[in-house]
C-alpha cells in the first residue's frame, strides 16, 4: 500500500450482531484498533465491547477520524452515514438473524432491569429494518466504501473461512490462525430455531 492513503477499517452492524466478536478477531490477528476501554466487559460481552466513545458523537463531528487511518474502529450501523466523506473505508458488516438480535437485546435489557412490553420486539424489529434500508441505500451511493458482509452464525461455525475472507478483503498481513482461536462458540448464546435445529 506504499504511496496509497491508508483506509479506515470499520466494523459495523446492528447492536448485538457480532461486532464485538469481529473486533476480537482483528485484535488477535494483529490489526491495530481504535478503542478506549471506557465500556468495560460484562456478562453480555465478557471479552469486551471494543468501543471508542467519540464514535457516539459522530453527528456532531469527527476530529478523530485521521487517527483511525490504518486502524479499525467500531461504528454501529445507524451511525455509518455520519462518517466524513472523502476518505477510503473498508467496512466489515456483521449480519445476524433478526430474531437472534432481538433475543440478545431483550436478554441484555432484562438484565438491566428494563420492563419490556409485549410489543417491544415488533417495534424494535421495524426500527432495525428501517435503519438497515436507509444505511444500505446510502452506502451503495458512496464510491469510497468497500463492504464485506459477514454472517455471524457462519463465522462461529466456520471461523477459518471467515478469517480468510477478512484477510483477503483487507489486504493486510494478519494472523488468521490467531483470529480463528479467538472465536468462542459458547458465547453464541441466542440462537434462532433454525440454527438450533441444524446443531441438533
| CA-wise closest residue to 44 among 110, 96, 94 | 110
pTM: 0.86
Q: Rounded to whole angstroms, what are the CA distances from 53 to 11, 93, 113? A: 15, 20, 24
Is 105 in contact with 114 (CB distance < 8 Å)?
A: no
What is the full per-residue pLDDT of the chain (200 aa) written as tens digits? 445 678 999 999 988 899 999 999 999 999 999 999 999 998 888 899 999 999 999 989 999 999 999 999 999 988 999 999 889 999 999 999 888 988 887 777 777 777 655 566 778 788 888 888 888 899 889 999 999 999 999 999 999 999 999 999 999 999 999 999 999 887 665 555 444 434 43
Q: Measured between alpha carbons, how far is 9 from 113 in angstroms, rounded to an integer?
A: 35
Give domain 8-183's CATH superfamily.
Answer: P-loop containing nucleotide triphosphate hydrolases (3.40.50.300)
Is 20 in contact with 108 (CB distance < 8 Å)?
A: no
Amino acid at each position: 500500500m506504499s504511496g496509497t492513503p491508508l483506509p479506515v477499517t470499520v466494523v459495523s452492524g446492528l447492536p448485538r450482531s457480532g461486532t464485538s466478536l469481529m473486533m476480537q478477531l482483528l485484535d488477535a490477528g494483529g490489526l491495530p484498533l481504535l478503542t478506549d476501554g471506557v465500556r468495560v466487559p460484562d456478562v453480555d460481552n465478557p471479552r469486551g465491547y471494543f468501543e471508542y466513545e467519540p464514535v457516539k458523537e459522530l453527528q456532531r463531528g469527527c476530529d478523530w477520524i485521521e487517527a483511525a487511518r490504518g486502524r479499525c474502529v467500531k461504528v454501529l450501523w445507524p451511525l455509518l452515514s455520519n462518517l466524513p466523506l472523502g476518505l477510503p473505508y473498508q467496512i466489515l458488516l456483521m449480519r445476524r438473524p433478526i430474531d437472534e438480535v432481538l433475543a440478545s437485546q431483550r436478554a441484555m435489557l432484562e438484565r438491566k432491569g428494563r420492563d419490556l412490553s409485549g410489543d417491544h420486539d415488533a417495534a424494535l424489529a421495524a426500527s432495525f429494518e428501517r435503519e438497515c434500508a436507509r444505511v444500505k441505500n446510502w452506502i451503495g451511493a458512496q464510491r469510497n466504501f468497500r463492504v464485506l458482509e459477514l454472517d455471524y452464525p457462519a463465522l462461529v461455525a466456520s471461523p477459518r473461512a471467515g478469517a480468510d475472507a477478512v484477510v483477503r478483503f483487507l489486504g493486510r498481513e494478519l494472523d488468521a490462525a490467531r483470529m480463528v482461536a479467538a472465536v468462542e462458540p459458547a458465547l453464541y448464546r441466542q440462537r434462532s430455531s433454525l440454527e438450533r435445529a441444524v446443531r441438533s
